[in-house]
Structure 1
C-alpha cells in the first residue's frame, strides 16, 4: 500500500476531525499539532524510563531441591522392617530415629565387637602385669615387647569392629550402651541424616530388606532451585547473578548456572536459579511461571553498557522495516527512529536518541503516523 492509500485508509479511524483539522509536517519532520488537535485525537504522553536490562517472556520453571540438600536413607543391613516412625510430608530432625529394622546380622556384628573388646581388656591386664615384672627384673624385655604388640593389635581390631557398628547404623550413644551393658539386640534404629521434610516413602512395614535398599528420601527445602529451559536463541544478556521473577508468587531468585548443553527435546538450555524468599510457598515438582532479567546488548564501544528506554508497546509505529516513536516538541511532534532491543509483555525496551525529559506519544499514534507520512 502506498502512502496516499495509507492516509485514505486511516481517515475512517480518525473520524471527521481528521478531515477538518490541518495536519502538516515541516522539512525537519515536525508534525505541527496544537493542543486542541491532540485532545481530539486522544494523544496521551509518557516519559521514557531508563533501562539497563530487559525482562524476558514468561517461561515455565520446575521447582527442585538442590542436590546438596537431598539424602536417600537406605537400610544399612539386611533384615525385616519392623517400624516406620515417619511418613511422607513430615518434618524430621537430624539424628531422629525414623525407622527400626530387625536384623540377625546386627547380632553377629555386636558379638564380634564385644569379643574383641574382652580380648583387649585381657591383653591390657597382661601388659600391665608384664610391665611390673619387667621393672622388677623377673621377665626379659622381649616378653614385655610381645605383650605390647598383642595389645596394639587387639586395640586396632576393636577400632575396626567399632567402625563396623557405625556402618551398621548404630550411633555413638548406641555403641556406648552396648559397651557398658554388654547386651545384644537385633533391633537396628535408622536415623535421619539431615533435618528436612520426608519427600518420599519407598517401603512399607514388614517388608524384607537387603543392605542398601532405599527407605526414604529426605530434603531440606530452603533454598530451592528453579530449573528453566530457555531457547538457545534467547540466551543473550543472561548471566549468573541476574534476577528471576516468579510472576504469580511475587518473589524473585537469582541465576546460579547457565547450562552448556542444548536439550534435543525442546532445543532449550537449562538455566538454574536459586530462590530463598518465598521458598516455603513452593513445592518440589511444582511448575511456576518466571521471567528472567537480561542485560541489554553492549554499546558501540567494547565493554560499554547499552542505555535503553522502556516504553509501552503502543508507542511504536513501523514504516517498512524501520521503527519509530513520536516525541512531543514545541508546536507538534517529531518522528524518532529507535531500535527494539527487548520485547516484554506490555512494554518494549528501545535504543534511540531519547532523554528522560522527553514526552512520548502512547496513544493516537495512528493519526500522527498518517500526518507524518502525508506531509513527506
Structure 2
C-alpha cells in the first residue's frame, strides 16, 4: 500500500542527489599537465580591505551650519553694520531696523510690563488684606488670577520680540537686528534705506567649519553602505558615509552624503574626488565582496561566475557582479582569502564544463 511519507522521503533523496550531481557537474577533474595544455592561468582574488572606488562630488555646508536673519516685519533697513566675510558672534547687531509694527510690538511689551507691575503690587496688597481677614477669599483668588495673566502676557510679548531677533540699543533705544548664532556673513541682501517686506531674508550667516560631502557614485560601481570610510587624500580629509539615496534621473546612480571627522583643507563649494573604502564583510548569504580580474568572469546558464582552482582541478563558482571596468571587477560570492580564479583559458574550461553535462 502506498504511504504519503514514502513520497516525501523519496522527494528529499531525489533533491539531495540532484544537488550533488549538479555540484559534481560544475567541478572538472584536471591534472596540472592538462591545465597547462589548456592555457589556464590563475590569479588570486583581491582582499576586501583593498577595495576602493572613486566618486566625485562637492563640499557642502551642513544644513544646520546656515542661518538666515530675516526682516521680522515690513519696514526699512536704516543702517547696515556688517559686511560679507566678516565674523560675527551670537547677539551681535547686524543692522538697524525701523517698522511701524515693530514700534507697536514694543509699545505692547511696555504696556504688558506696566500691567504686570500693577498686578504684582495689587497681589502684595491683597495678600496682606486677606491675611488680616479684611477681604474675602474670592477677591484674593481673583487678584492672583490677574497677576498670573499679566505675567503670561509679558512672557508672550518678550517671546515675540526674541523671535523677531530685535534688541534695543541702550543709549538711543534704536531697534537692531542681531545674529542668532556665531559665524561668517555669507550674504548681505539689503542696503541702507531699503524697504523690505516681512520675512525677507537680509543676512546669511554660515559656519565655514561645518562641512560634509555630497558625492555621486555611478551605476557601474557598488553602492556604499552607512559607516563606510571616505577619504579625500589630496586635502587630508576623512569621514564616513552617513546616507545613500538613489538619483531620480533614471541613471541608477546613487548620491552619498558623508560626514567629516577630519576637515583637512576643504572649503565649502569646491569640487573634489573622494575615495570610498568598501567593507568586504559577508552578507546574509555568506557571500563576501572581493575583487577579481575582469577576464575571470564568464557566464554559465545565464548566471555570472568564475572558475576556482581546487586540489583536483577547477570548480565553477557563481557570483554576483557589482561593478566592472577595464581594470577590475567587484563581485560578491563565496570566495575566501587565498582563492585563485582562472584568468586565462576560461573559454576552454567552459567548453569542457558544457561537454560534461
Q: TM-score range by the shorter chain?
A: 0.5 to 0.7
Q: 1:295 deviation in Å?
A: 3.9
- Residue in 1 that maps onto 2:66: 70
- Residue in 2 that maps onto 1:123: 119
- Residue in 1 that maps onto 2:231: 245
Task: Pick from 262, 278, 285 the counterpart of residue 247 of structure 2.
Answer: 262
Task: Pick from 134, 152, 159 the counterpart of residue 156 of structure 1.
Answer: 152
Q: 1:26 deviation in Å?
A: 7.1
Q: Structure 1 residues 121 and 305 mapped into 2: Cα distance closer, same or farther (>3 Å)?
A: same
Alignment of 1:82-97 (within 5 A): 82-97=78-93
Q: 1:305 deviation in Å?
A: 4.9
Q: Structure 1 residues 125 and 307 mapped into 2: Cα distance closer, same or farther (>3 Å)?
A: closer
- Residue in 1 that maps onto 2:267: 282
- Residue in 2 that maps onto 1:15: none
CA distance in 1, matches of 2:252, 2:336: 37
Q: Does the alignment pair 1:304 with 2:286?
A: yes
Structure 1 SS opposite 2:268: coil
Q: Is the 8 A contact 1:54 1:344 kept in 2?
A: no
Structure 2 SS opposite 1:27: helix
Q: 1:304 deviation in Å?
A: 2.7
Q: Tell which has more relative contact order, 1 or 2 (C-alpha 8 A, sep 6+).
A: 1
Q: 1:310 deviation in Å?
A: 7.6
Structure 2 SS opposite 1:263: coil
CA distance in 2, matches of 1:146, 1:307: 76
Q: 1:53 deviation in Å?
A: 5.3
- Residue in 2 that maps onto 1:273: 258
Unaligned runs of 5+ in 1: 1-24, 32-45, 178-182, 328-333, 359-364
State the superposition RMSD in angstroms: 4.6
TM-score (norm 2): 0.65
Q: Structure 1 residues 123 and 291 mapped into 2: Cα distance closer, same or farther (>3 Å)?
A: closer
Q: Structure 1 residues 111 and 342 mapped into 2: Cα distance closer, same or farther (>3 Å)?
A: closer
CA distance in 2, matches of 1:119, 1:349: 75
CA distance in 2, matches of 1:341, 1:125: 78
Task: Pick from 213, 216, 219 the counterpart of residue 206 of structure 2.
Answer: 219
CA distance in 2, matches of 1:168, 1:342: 53
Question: How many corresponding residue pairs?
Answer: 307
Q: Structure 1 residues 105 and 234 mapped into 2: Cα distance closer, same or farther (>3 Å)?
A: same
Unaligned runs of 5+ in 2: 1-30, 38-42, 349-357
Structure 2 SS opposite 1:281: coil
Structure 2 SS opposite 1:227: strand
CA distance in 1, matches of 2:236, 2:316: 35
Alignment of 1:1-376 (within 5 A): 27-30=33-36, 50-52=47-49, 54-56=51-53, 58-170=54-166, 185=173, 187-231=174-218, 233-234=219-220, 236=222, 238-246=224-232, 248-259=234-245, 261-264=246-249, 266-284=251-269, 286-296=270-280, 298=282, 302-306=284-288, 308=290
Q: 1:307 deviation in Å?
A: 6.9
Alpha-carbon displacement from aligned partner over 1:227-281 (angstroms, at most 9, x marks no partner): 12323x345352111122325434332111011x432175432221122323542
Q: 1:52 deviation in Å?
A: 4.0
Alpha-carbon displacement from aligned partner over 1:41-100 (angstroms, at most 9, x marks no partner): xxxxx99863345222x4320221121222221112232112223233333222222222
CA distance in 1, matches of 2:150, 2:114: 10
Q: Is the 8 A contact 2:291 2:328 kept in 1?
A: no
Q: Is the 8 A contact 1:53 1:295 kept in 2?
A: no
Q: Is the 8 A contact 1:55 1:342 kept in 2?
A: no
Q: Structure 1 residues 319 and 240 mapped into 2: Cα distance closer, same or farther (>3 Å)?
A: closer
Alpha-carbon displacement from aligned partner over 1:155-197 (angstroms, at most 9, x marks no partner): 33223222232233245xx59x6xxxxx983x32222222222
Q: 1:342 deviation in Å?
A: 5.7
